[in-house]
Chain A
C-alpha cells in the first residue's frame, strides 16, 4: 500500500519525463504492432511467388513450378517461426511489465499514453495478471512460511532424534502390531541388530533375548494403552549376564491415540554389583563381630551360671578370654570406623611434600618394641636421596606401620625384616621384606579384600583382615600410587609401595 501511494506521487509530479526506474511501456507495445504488419508482407510475398510460378510454368515447365513452390513454402515457414518467436518474446516482456505494474491504477496506463486496443490489453493484463501475481505472491509467502515450519519441525525432529540417540539407555518403540518402529544406537548395541534391517519387523524376530521379547509381548498384549511396567531382568550380553531395569510405557498422543509401546532398558549391572558388595560387606562385618561376641556371651553366661564355681583358675581363664575378645571387638570396630571414615572422605586428606625416608624411619621406630618382643630386627636400607612424595603424613605412616606390623606378626621369632627405599624411574619406591610365613599363590588375588585372611596364617596372629584393604585404599585411591606384593609360601613376602616422586631436594 505504501509503495503504491509513492509511485502515484511520482507519476503525477513529473508528467513529461519518465523515471528511469519505470518500464519502457510504449516501446514494448510498439514492437508487436510492427511485428503484426509482417503477415501482410508474407501475403504479398505469396502472391509474388504464385505469379513467379505461373511464369516458370510457361517458360520451364512443371519441375520448375514445384521447385519455386517448395522454396516459397520454406520461406513462409521461416517467416512465421520468426514472427512467433518475436511475439512470444514480446508477451514475456508484457508479463514482466504486468508484474511490475501490479497494483497500479488506470491513471498509470493513461500516463503512458496508451490508447485504443493497447490500452484495453494493458488494462486486461493488469486485471488478470495482477490478480495472478498477487495470488503468486501470497502463495510464495505461504510457501515460505511452510518451508520455515518444515525446517523448524525437521530441526525439532533431528534434535529429538539426537537426544534419543545419545541416551546411554537402550530405547525401543514398537507399534500396536508389535513391530519395531524406532531403536536408538544403545538398543542396537545391546540387542545386536541394525535398525535399518529390523525396522517394521516383529520384535520377536529382532530381539534374540527371549526373556525380553516375551516380556515385551506380554506387556503389549495385556493392555496397550495407559500401560506402565517396570521390571528387573537379567539378559545375556556378549556372553555375559547383565542386569537391566526394563521400563515399558504406552506412547499416547494428546488425543489419546496409541502410538505404540516405548521400552527403555537401563544397565544396572554395576548398581547390582555394588549392592551385592555392600550386602557381602555387612554379612562379613556381622560375622567378624559376632565371633568374639559369641565368646564373651558364652563365658559370661557360664560364669553367671556358676559353671566354674570352686575353681578360681578356670574363673580367671574365663575372665581373661572375655577381656581378650572384647579387645578384639573394639580393635575391629576401630578398623571399620577408620575404613569408613577414609573411604567416605570424612577424614580430611592433607597432602604435603614429605620425605619418604622420614616416614619409613618414623614408622620403623614405632614398631621396634613389637619387633624386639619377637627378637626380630628391623633393618633399614634407605636411599641416600631425599625422595620427596606428596602425601598425607598420618595416612602414609599408618600404611608404613601396617606393613611393618604384618611383617612382624607373620615372621617367626628371631626373623629378619628389611625396610627399603629407592628411586625407580620417576617413582619413589618403599618395600617391607620379611622372612616370614609367606602367602600361598591362591590367596594372592584376595589379599587386599576386606576381611580376607590367609587361612593358613589366620591362627598365627590376631587380625581383622582389614589392614591391607585400608593400605591399598590409602595408597591407590587417596595417593594415586600402587601397592604390590611378591611372596613365596614358607619363605617370606615383599610388600612394595610405589608413589610418584615429587622432588629430590628438601624444600623449606
Chain B
C-alpha cells in the first residue's frame, strides 16, 4: 500500500509541484492550502509523512507541527519543512523542538525532496517491522 503524504503550502504552484513529483513516484497525496486546512484534514486522517511550508496564513508551519506532535497518532510522523524564510531561530533548534526530519530551503530540488522522503521512510520501515 502506498504511503500517504500530506503536503501543505499556500503557494499553489509549489503545492502542485511537490504533489506532482511525489504522486509520480507512487505516493498517495493529500493537499492543504494552509495549516488550517491541514488540521481539518487531520481530524479524520492520519498521514505517513508530512511536508509543510513554514509561512502560511491562518495557521503556519510551526503551529501545524506542534499540532501534529500533540496528538498520539502523529507524534512521531516524519515532517519536512519547506521554507523561503531565513529562519529567525537556528535550524537545529527548530528541528529539535519540532522533531523535524529536515528543513529544506526554497528554492528546493523536487528530486532531492523525493530522495529524502524515500530514505526517511526506508529507515523507519525496518524499525517499525521490528517493533510490530
Let me know if B86 and A283 touch, CB within 8 A. Answer: yes
Distance from B4 Cβ to chain A, minimum over Cβ atoms (Å): 21
Given contacts A307-B21, A458-B57, contact A321 B111 (CB under 8 A): no
| Contact residues in A for B82 (Cβ distance below 8 Å) | 294
**Given known contacts A283-B86, A287-B85, A298 and B24 CB-to-CB distance under 8 angstroms:** no
A-B contact pairs, 11 of them (CB 8 A): A283-B86, A286-B86, A293-B106, A294-B11, A294-B107, A298-B107, A298-B108, A301-B111, A302-B20, A307-B24, A321-B16
Does B121 interact with chain A (Cβ within 8 Å)?
no
Smallest CB-CB separation from B13: which chain A residue? A295
A158 beta carbon closer than 8 Å to chain B: no
Whether the Cβ atoms of A455 and B58 lie closer than 8 Å is yes
Chain A contact residues: helix, strand, loop or mixed: helix
Complex alpha-carbon distance, A384 and B106, angstroms: 54
Residues of B within 8 A of A244 (CB): none
In the assembled complex, A7 has its CB within 8 A of some CB on chain B: no
By a CB distance below 8 angstroms, the chain A residues around B17 are 295, 298-299, 302
Assembly CA distance A295 to B11 (angstroms): 9
B111 touches A305 (CB 8 A): yes
**Does B110 count as interface, using CB distance less than 8 angstroms?**
yes
A290–B57 touching, CB < 8 Å: no
Residues of chain B within 8 A of A307, CB atoms compared: 20-21, 24, 110
> Using Cβ atoms and an 8 Å threshold, which residues of chain A touch B46?
none
Pair A287/B55 contact, Cβ less than 8 Å = yes
Cα–Cα, bound, A290→B86 (Å): 10
Count B-side interface residues using an 8 Å CB cutoff. Answer: 24
Top 7 nearest A-B pairs (CB, nearest first) are: A290-B84, A294-B106, A455-B57, A297-B107, A294-B107, A298-B17, A295-B13
In the assembled complex, A325 has its CB within 8 A of some CB on chain B: yes
Over the window 104-122 of chain B, the binary record of Cβ atoms lying under 8 Å from chain A Cβ atoms (1 yes, 0 no) is 0111111100000000000
Contact A294 B84 (CB under 8 A): yes
B residues touching A (Cβ–Cβ < 8 Å)? 10-11, 13-14, 16-18, 20-21, 24, 55, 57-58, 82, 84-86, 105-111
Measured CB to CB, the nearest residue on chain A to B86 is A283
Asked if A221 lies at the interface with its beta carbon under 8 angstroms from chain B, I say no
Contact code string A272-302 (vs B, CB < 8 Å = 1, else 0): 0000000000010011001101111111011
Q: Using Cβ atoms and an 8 Å threshold, which residues of chain B touch A314?
A: 20
Tell me whether B110 and A301 are in contact (CB under 8 A). yes
Q: Closest A-chain residue to B55, C-beta based? A: A287
Q: Which of chain A's residues 82-99 have a Cβ closer than 8 Å to chain B?
A: none
Question: A219–B97 Cα gap in the complex (Å)?
Answer: 38
Known interface pairs A283-B85, A307-B24; A290-B106 also in contact (CB < 8 Å): yes
Cα A291 to Cα B14 with chains together (Å): 8
A449 to B53, CA, bound (A): 23
- A296 partner residues in chain B, CB cutoff 8 A: 107
Write the chain B residue with the least CB distance to A295.
Answer: B13
Task: List the A side residues contacting B57 at CB < 8 Å.
Answer: 455-456, 458
* Contacts A287-B84, A455-B57; A301 near B109 (Cβ below 8 A): yes
Q: How far is the CA of A29 from the CA of B44 in the complex (A)?
A: 134
Residue in A283, A294, A456 whose CB lies within 8 Å of B14: A294
The answer for the CA separation of A325 and B109 in the assembled complex, in Å, is 16
In the complex, chain B residues whose CB is within 8 Å of the CB of A298: 13-14, 17-18, 21, 107-110
**20 other A-B residue contacts (CB within 8 Å) besides A290-B106, A293-B106:** A290-B105, A291-B14, A291-B84, A291-B106, A294-B11, A294-B14, A294-B82, A294-B107, A294-B108, A295-B13, A295-B14, A295-B17, A298-B14, A298-B18, A298-B110, A302-B110, A307-B24, A307-B110, A455-B58, A458-B10
Q: What separation, in Å, do the CA atoms of A267 and B101 have in the docked complex?
A: 44
Tell me the complex Cα distance, A294–B85, Å. Answer: 12
Q: A295-B14, A325-B13 are in contact. Are A290 and B21 (CB under 8 A)?
A: no
Chain A residues within an 8 Å CB radius of B85: 283, 287
CB distance from A300 to the nearest CB of B (A): 10
B24–A297 touching, CB < 8 Å: no
For A359-402 the 0/1 string (1 means CB < 8 A from B) is 00000000000000000000000000000000000000000000
Residues A290 and B107 in contact, CB atoms below 8 Å apart: yes
Q: Is the CB of A321 within 8 A of B107?
A: no
Cα A295 to Cα B10 in complex, Å, equals: 13
Tell me which residues from 59 to 84 in chain A have a Cβ below 8 Å from any Cβ of chain B. none
Closest Cβ of chain B to A296, distance in Å, is 7
Q: Is B84 a contact partner of A286 (Cβ separation < 8 A)?
A: yes
Contacts A286-B86, A301-B111, A305-B111 given; does A291 touch B58 at CB 8 Å: no
A297 to B86: give the CA distance in the assembly, Å. Answer: 18
Within 8 Å CB of A321, what residues of B? 13, 16
Are B106 and A302 within 8 A (Cβ)? no
A490 and B35 alpha carbons, distance in the complex (Å): 24
A456 to B10, CA, bound (A): 12
> Smallest CB–CB gap between B92 and chain A, Å?
19
Q: State the CA gap A291–B108 with chains docked (Å).
A: 10
B129 to chain A, nearest CB (A): 31
| Residues from 442 to 461 in A contacting B, C-beta threshold 8 Å | 455-456, 458
Contacts of B21 in A (CB 8 A): 298, 302, 307
Distance in angstroms between the alpha carbons of A456 and B16 in the assembled complex: 21
User: Cα distance A296–B58 when bound, in Å?
Assistant: 26
Report the nearest B residue to A453, measured CB to CB: B57
Tell me whether A297 and B109 are in contact in the complex, defined as CB-CB below 8 angstroms, given that A286-B84, A287-B55, A455-B58 are known contacts. yes
Q: Are A291 and B109 CB-contacts (below 8 A) given A299-B17, A302-B20, A307-B21?
A: no
Residues on A with C-beta less than 8 A from B11 are: 291, 294-295
